[in-house]
């Protein structure tokens, strides 16, 4: 993708340079002899315009749309999902509900980050570099306005992007607060009406709307500053290039064609500069999402097989002699759930655990299945400490009927399809400068 993008950028710059030379040749030839003397160059250019460019664009579209856009994030999702399935129960307790959204968001953000860097970033660097070289090849002084503009534009990006992203982040938070409060009052409408609290509810929602609107105003002020600065820079560039070009032309230092190319570059930059700003800001936003996702996804599994773990059946079939030896466990917190418990269940013996809710019955089963690792003591099956066997084989050797299974059997199984992920922050509402060659990234 990066190679194709560079090739497209180089070809575009070459087309501009060629346009300049057309202008020069048109002014130095007579119409009668023009085609005989210059015809082959036009044939070459026609080849580039009619065959090479469409082929490059086709290849690039194939690579991006048919290969990367769908498959790349799906591959990340698949790998992350498999990684997450190995995480302990405690992990899912902590992040319940958020984890699927994280997975979806992170995989898309990884794709956006990589594609923006390799595609947009690469295009911009190659294109700007090419433009500078073409301008400098006419006369080095013609390059100066471009270099100055580039510097000022970099300063503007440096100023704007962190601020734009910060306010976008605040806006996303304010939006979810606002939505949450509104949804809450609809969901609990009976309570709201019952206690005649509608005024309090109104104020509550109104406050969050005010906060949200505040972030919109800040964002719009910033957008105005950035757009006006950007437009002013572009106009200064246009003026500087035209003035420099004409001055150099009067000194016979550059040709008419060189001025035509330089002006064409300016016009193209004007369209592109705003678009680059949004792309860069989206890039950093995506980098933030990726970092955030990695922080919650890439945690080492807390319950993992010991390095030399063997299958529990390695020494023969399981008989089912279960011993809890002075087991201590309290979900990593203070205060004992299970404190120094001894229990022996012989093969074939049926044992019922009875206790008030919260006594720790389910916790014992969780420990036996190694959903959690005991904090003290040992649990043995047929004399083998379950911490030394692979958890796959351990769980395969134990039959469990959970309450959800019973409920499903008696009330009819219900499926809980994964809800669609929350709306991706920053992916909607990005506008592109009109006439840009960039693609939509659905």
Ligand X SMILES: Nc1ncnc2c1ncn2[C@@H]1O[C@H](COP(=O)(O)OP(=O)(O)OP(=O)(O)O)[C@@H](O)[C@H]1O
Q: Which residue from 130, 145, 245, 360 is in contact with ligand X, where contact means CB under 6 A?
A: 360
Q: Give the residue with the Cβ less far from ligand X, 78 or 331.
A: 331
Only one of the segments 50-58, 164-172, 351-359, 384-392 lies at the binding site for ligand X (rule: CB under 6 A); that segment is 351-359
Partner touching 363 among ligand X, Mg ion, none, CB below 5 to 8 Å by kind: ligand X
> What is the distance between the alpha carbons of residues 442 and 279, in angstroms, rounded to a whole number?
15
Minimum distance, C-beta of residue 358 to ligand X, in the bound complex (Å):
4
Minimum distance, C-beta of residue 373 to ligand X, in the bound complex (Å):
13
CA 323 to chain centre: 48
Determine if 101 is a binding residue for Mg ion (CB under 5 A).
Answer: no
Write out the two tokens for 156.
């503007």
Determine if 359 is a binding residue for ligand X (CB under 6 A).
Answer: yes
**Chain position whose Cβ is nearest to Mg ion:** 362
Minimum distance, C-beta of residue 175 to ligand X, in the bound complex (Å):
32
Residue 35: φ, ψ to 5°: -65, -35
Q: Give the residue with the Cβ less far from Mg ion, 186 or 403.
A: 403
Contacts to Mg ion from residues 340-369, by CB under 5 A:
362
Binding characters for ligand X, 83-122, by CB under 6 A (x = yes): ----------x-----------------------------
Determine if 393 is a binding residue for Mg ion (CB under 5 A).
Answer: no
Q: Give the residue with the Cβ less far from ligand X, 90 or 271.
A: 90
Minimum distance, C-beta of residue 357 to Mg ion, in the bound complex (Å):
7
Partner touching 358 among Mg ion, ligand X, none, CB below 5 to 8 Å by kind: ligand X
- Edge-to-edge order in the sheet of strand 384-385: 338-345, 322-329, 376-381, 384-385
Q: Give the residue with the Cβ less far from ligand X, 355 or 399.
A: 355
Q: Which residue from 65, 361, 395, 439 is in contact with ligand X, where contact means CB under 6 A?
A: 361
Neighbours of 256 (CB within 10 A): 14
Only one of the segments 41-49, 189-197, 206-214, 355-363 lies at the binding site for ligand X (rule: CB under 6 A); that segment is 355-363
Determine if 337 is a binding residue for ligand X (CB under 6 A).
Answer: yes
> What is the distance between the alpha carbons of residues 314 and 382, in angstroms, rounded to a whole number?
12
Q: Give the residue with the Cβ less far from ligand X, 93 or 414.
A: 93
Size of the residue set binding Mg ion (CB under 5 A): 1
Which residues here bind ligand X, judged by CB under 6 A? 93, 331, 337, 355, 357-363
Which residues here bind Mg ion, judged by CB under 5 A? 362
């Amino acid at each position: 993708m990066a190679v194709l993008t560079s090739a497209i950028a180089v070809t575009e710059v070459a087309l501009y340079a060629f346009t300049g030379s057309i202008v020069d040749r048109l002014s130095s030839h007579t119409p009668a002899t023009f085609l005989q003397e210059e015809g082959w160059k036009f044939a070459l250019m026609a080849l580039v315009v009619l065959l090479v460019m469409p082929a490059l664009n086709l290849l690039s579209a194939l690579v991006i749309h048919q290969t990367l856009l769908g498959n790349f994030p799906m591959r990340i999702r698949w790998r992350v999902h498999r990684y997450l399935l190995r995480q302990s129960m405690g992990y899912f307790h902590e992040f319940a509900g958020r984890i699927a959204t994280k997975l979806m968001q992170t995989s898309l953000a990884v794709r956006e980050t990589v594609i923006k860097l390799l595609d947009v970033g690469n295009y911009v660097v190659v294109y700007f570099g090419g433009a500078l070289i073409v301008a400098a090849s006419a006369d080095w002084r013609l390059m100066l306005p471009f270099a100055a503009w580039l510097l000022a534009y970099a300063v503007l990006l440096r100023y704007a992007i962190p601020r734009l992203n910060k306010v976008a982040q605040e806006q996303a938070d304010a939006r979810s607060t606002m939505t949450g409060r509104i949804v809450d009052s609809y969901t609990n409408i009976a309570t709201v009406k019952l206690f005649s609290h509608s005024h309090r509810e109104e104020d509550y929602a109104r406050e969050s709307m005010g906060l949200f609107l505040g972030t919109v105003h800040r964002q719009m002020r910033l957008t105005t500053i950035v757009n006006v600065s950007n437009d002013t820079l572009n106009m200064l560039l246009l003026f500087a290039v035209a003035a420099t070009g004409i001055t150099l032309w009067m000194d016979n230092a550059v040709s008419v064609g060189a001025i035509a190319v330089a002006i064409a570059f300016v016009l193209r930059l004007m369209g592109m500069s705003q678009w680059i700003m949004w792309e860069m800001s989206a890039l950093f936003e995506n980098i933030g999402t990726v970092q955030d996702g990695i922080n919650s996804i890439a945690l080492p599994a807390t319950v993992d097989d010991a390095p030399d773990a063997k299958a529990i059946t390695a020494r023969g079939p399981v008989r089912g002699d279960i011993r809890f030896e002075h087991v201590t466990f309290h979900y990593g917190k203070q205060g004992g759930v299970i404190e120094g418990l001894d229990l022996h269940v012989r093969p074939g013996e049926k044992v019922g655990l009875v206790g008030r809710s919260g006594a720790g019955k389910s916790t014992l089963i969780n420990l036996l299945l190694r959903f959690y690792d005991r904090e003290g003591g040992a649990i043995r099956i047929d004399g083998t400490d379950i911490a030394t066997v692979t958890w796959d084989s351990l769980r395969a050797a134990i039959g469990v009927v959970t309450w959800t299974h019973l409920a499903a059997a008696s009330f009819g199984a219900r499926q809980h399809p994964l809800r669609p992920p929350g709306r991706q922050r920053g992916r909607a509402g990005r506008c592109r400068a009109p006439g840009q060659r960039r693609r939509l990234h659905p």
